[in-house]
């Protein structure tokens, strides 16, 4: 009987050890899952975060144009397996008498990695291409973007609006809040649509896109006065 009792004690000890081991592994898995969820939540928060700033562009005391600067993060599905990419750049609408209304596009990009401790690590890369979108992500095929030189690590393009129809298409895109920048991250990669009107930060002066809309309206009046 003593032997049987000893055997039961050994079995109980073994079961207790196994249960303790399972609980320990389960706790580790739970912690790991929690860490993964924390990272995913941080990524999701970062994906929603963006900034927007509108400025008037003066030139030797004259009103020459409008600028809309932005930052935005989005997931790149095709070549980066759903990882986040942060974009920063600007739309610039400028006009000089006797020339076409011109839209300058500039964008930079960085792979965005959020470590388990919450540290955000950005690795810059140069986007493959950028063009102007005016209606639900559709590029302006009739007035194609031309590549332009710009600062290091950025991709730039110029879109000239040489006639009434193209200027009105741009104006309608601004008023309808469908103005966008279409960025190809890598050759063969996804095309990311960056629509400033969907970036929602608000300053004491009111929504930044509304300020750009007002500025662009003034610019169109300036263009019409010169023609």
- Own/partner contacts of 16-23, CB < 8 Å, gap of 24 or more, are none
Task: Please choose, from the candidates 49, 43, 61, 7, the residue with its C-alpha nearest in 3D space to the C-alpha of residue 198.
Answer: 49
pTM score of the predicted model? 0.73
Phi then psi for 174, rounded to 5 degrees?
-70, -50
**pLDDT for res 104:** 94
Provide the residue count of the chain.
227
* 68/44: higher pLDDT: 68
Distance in angstroms (rounded) separating the CA atoms of residues 122 and 166: 37
Distance in angstroms (rounded) separating the CA atoms of residues 135 and 173: 6
Q: Token match 């030189």: residue? A: 149
Q: What percent of the chain has pLDDT over 90?
A: 18
- Residue 13 CB neighbours (<10 A): 10
Distance in angstroms (rounded) separating the CA atoms of residues 125 and 111: 7
Mean local confidence (pLDDT), 13-31 = 49
């Amino acid at each position: 009987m003593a032997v049987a009792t000893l055997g039961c004690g050994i079995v109980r000890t073994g079961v207790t050890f196994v249960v303790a081991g399972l609980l320990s592994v389960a706790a580790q898995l739970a912690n790991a899952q929690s860490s993964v969820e924390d990272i995913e939540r941080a990524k999701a928060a970062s994906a929603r975060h963006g900034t927007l700033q509108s400025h008037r562009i003066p030139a030797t005391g004259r009103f020459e144009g409008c600028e809309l600067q932005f930052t935005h993060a989005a997931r790149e599905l095709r070549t980066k397996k759903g990882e986040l990419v942060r974009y920063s750049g600007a739309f610039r609408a400028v006009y000089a008498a006797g020339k076409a209304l011109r839209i300058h596009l500039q964008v930079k990009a960085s792979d965005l990695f959020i470590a388990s401790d919450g540290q955000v690590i950005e690795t810059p890369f140069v986007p493959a291409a950028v063009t102007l979108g005016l209606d639900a992500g559709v590029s302006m095929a009739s007035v194609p973007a031309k590549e332009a030189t710009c600062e290091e690590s950025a991709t730039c393009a110029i879109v000239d609006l040489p006639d009434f129809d193209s200027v009105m298409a741009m104006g309608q895109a601004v008023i309808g809040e469908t103005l966008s920048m279409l960025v190809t991250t890598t050759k063969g990669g996804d095309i990311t649509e960056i629509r400033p009107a969907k970036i929602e930060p608000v300053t004491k002066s009111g929504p930044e896109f509304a300020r750009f809309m007002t500025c662009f309206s003034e610019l169109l009046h300036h263009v019409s006065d010169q023609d």
